[in-house]
Amino acid sequence: MMDTIKTGRYIQHLRKTKGMTQKELAEKLNISFQAVSKWENGDALPDTGILLDLCDVLETTADKLLNGGTVAVKERRMMRLEDVIIGFECIEDIGKYFGESSTFYQGMVEGINQKMNIDLLAYLKDPRTREVLYAEVLIQGILDGKTVDMEEIEATFQNEKMVGTIRKYLEKAKG
């Protein structure tokens, strides 16, 4: 939801940074200074017809202007199982690239083992427990507000219990 007061303050900040009065900004846009005042007070938003011109004058982007100076980052809401699998392959690759005796690799593995109370390397070697790791990552993603494609899960997972568990978390998250 857009915060008109935050947007207005940002417009005012940019205008003042440029050393312009409300009247000068209004003249550049061929509008009344009262319109600029309404924006800055949070009483109204710029019309779409002049939004791009306003952004040009204030040297900003429409998304940044309408979000009050913050860049709107679109978070990817869909978690792909393929990405999770690649993530675990990358963990294994660190051992290959750095060497399994590397303190970086050992520290990473030990940290995961301690945090999750597992033997990561043993889990990664066994296809059944590897699938449990995938499920754990997917469930954590669901708890963080992401979603998954159940068809992808059903087509890839061998363990029906894990599929059912993921489905339950997903349904609970959807409400």
The values of phi and psi at residue 109, to 5°, are -65, -45
Instruction: Decide if domain 4-66 falls under CATH 2.40.30.40.
Output: no
Tens digit of each residue's pLDDT (9 = 90 or more) over 109-145: 999 999 999 999 999 999 999 999 999 999 999 988 8
21-30: pLDDT as tens digits: 999 999 999 9
Query: What's the pLDDT score for residue 67?
Result: 84
Burial class (CB in 10 A: 0-12, 13-18, 19+), 57: middle
Whether 3 and 68 have beta carbons less than 8 Å apart is answered as yes
pLDDT at residue 89 is higher than 60? yes
Tens of pLDDT, residue by residue over 33-65, are 999 999 999 999 998 889 999 999 999 888 888
pLDDT of residue 76 exceeding 70 = no
Residue (of 148, 145, 144) closest to 134 by Cα position: 148
Q: What is d(CA 22, CA 40) in angstroms, rounded to the nearest whole number?
A: 9
Domain boundaries of the chain, sorted by first residue:
4-66, 78-174
